[in-house]
Amino acid sequence: MRPHVPRARRALLTTPIVVIVLPLALYYVLRAQGAPAWQALLLSSLPPVAHSVAAAVRGHRVGYVDLLVIGLLVISAATSLVSGDPRGLLLKDAALPAALGLGIGATLWAARPFAFRFGHQFRSGVAAERAERYWRELPAFRQALRSLTLLWAGAELLDALLSATEALVLPVDAVPLLGRAQSLAVVGAVALLSVRRSRRFRGRYGIPLFGFREPAGAEEAEIRGRAPGLV
C-alpha cells in the first residue's frame, strides 16, 4: 500500500474535528465569556487555518483549498474589522463551498475529474494502475466518476446558497451551529448517494470506483466479461 493511503484515511477522521467541531465549540465558549460576535467568529476560524498551514508544511506544498481557507479568512476579517459587522465573517462560510463547488465542477474539463482524484488517495499501487486502465478503456467508468463529480459540485453550490441566505437573514449566533449542521447534512447526503452509486457500479461491472478493494485473480476475468470494453 502506498504511504499516503493510510494518511488520507486518517485525514477523513481528523479534518472534520478541526474544521467543524473545534471552531464551533470555540465560538460558543467565547460568546459565553462575553466576546463580541465578530471577535468570536475570527478566533474560531483560526483552527482551520492552522490545520491548512500545518498540512502545507507537512506536504511541502500549498493546495488550492489551503489557499482558499486562508485567503477568505483574511478578506472577511478585514471587511468585518472595517465595517464592524460580523456577517462578513459569516459569509466566508458561504464563499468556501461556492469556490469548492466551482473548482470541483471545473475538473470535469480536466484530464481526470475530482471524483477520480479523490478515489486515487485510497488506491494502492496496483489498484491505482488498474483505475488508470479502467479510465482509458471503460466509458462507463469515466461516466460514473464524472457523474459523481457533478453531484459533488452541485451539492457544494447548494450549501453555499443556503449558507449565504442564513448569514444575511438569521441572527448571528444561530448561524454557526445551523450552518455546520446544514453542511454536515449536505455532505452526508452526498456521501450516501456516492456509496449507493459506487455499489451499483461494482455490482454491475465488478469494479470499485474508489479503490477500497482490489480485484485480483479470477475476478479479473469476471470483470472483463462484465465490461467488454476492457482489453
pLDDT at 120 (0 to 100)? 79
Q: Which residue has the cell 459565553?
A: 32
pLDDT at 105 (0 to 100)? 93
pLDDT at 212 (0 to 100)? 54
Q: What string of pLDDT tens digits covers the 231 residues of the chain?
A: 454 545 555 555 677 777 788 889 999 999 999 999 988 988 888 887 777 777 667 765 555 556 666 666 666 666 666 666 788 888 888 888 898 899 899 999 999 999 998 887 777 778 788 888 999 999 999 999 999 999 999 999 999 999 999 999 999 999 999 998 998 899 899 999 999 999 999 999 888 888 655 555 444 544 455 555 554
pLDDT at 218 (0 to 100)? 40
pLDDT at 3 (0 to 100)? 47
The dihedral of CA 170, 171, 174, 180: what is its sign?
positive
